[in-house]
Amino acid sequence: MKVIDASGLILGRMATRVAKLALAGEKIKIVNCEKAVISGKQNMILAKWRERKHRTDPFKGPFISILPDRIVRRAIYGMLPHKRKTEKSRGILAFKNVMCYISVPDDLKNQKFETIPGTESDRLRFEYITVGRLAQLLRTR
């Protein structure tokens, strides 16, 4: 089991690496999901997520959660082959091995956290927004 600290990691790059690890059979737990970053301007990212959320009738879906851990989990789900909705689909079985958490739960406090090389946000030269800030903005407006 791998415990990954998402603090300061770029969401898309982290999601692809986690998806590959999950397809390989690893059990993965991601902590501090609210501190992962999405690159781009805040108003553009916010407009894209609002358009996704309000695409159709709220009683029919799509039902997109605005909690930070669910945003990260949905990004990982998009990187997996999940289109065939059979019980033995590789992507669906791999997705069951991925868990995301806001901050650090009590049972994982003594674990050693890993990071994914090449996904750090200090390489970014332009604007970015954290997943926690995105969730907060989606809730208030």
pLDDT confidence tier of residue 2, bands split at 50, 70 and 90: very high
Residue 52's H or E segment, with its range, is helix 42-53
Residue 114 contacts residue 5 (beta carbons within 8 Å): yes
Alpha-carbon distance of 5 to 104, in angstroms, equals 9
pLDDT confidence tier of residue 83, bands split at 50, 70 and 90: confident
pLDDT of residue 86: 67
Nearest to 136 by CA among 67, 53, 62: 67
Long-range contacts of 92-95 (CB under 8 A, 24+ apart): 94/19, 94/22, 94/23, 94/25, 95/22
Residue 132 contacts residue 47 (beta carbons within 8 Å): no
Enumerate domains of the chain plus CATH numbers.
2-140 (3.90.1180.10)
**8 CA to centre of own chain:** 13
Residue 115, token pair as written in the block = 């990071």
Give the Cβ contact number of residue 50 at 10 Å: 13
Is the pTM higher than 0.85? The answer reads yes
Q: Can you tell me which residue has the tokens 């970014």?
A: 124
Alpha-carbon distance of 15 to 21, in angstroms, equals 10
Q: Identify the residue with better confidence: 55 or 70.
A: 70
Does residue 84 have a pLDDT over 90? Answer: no
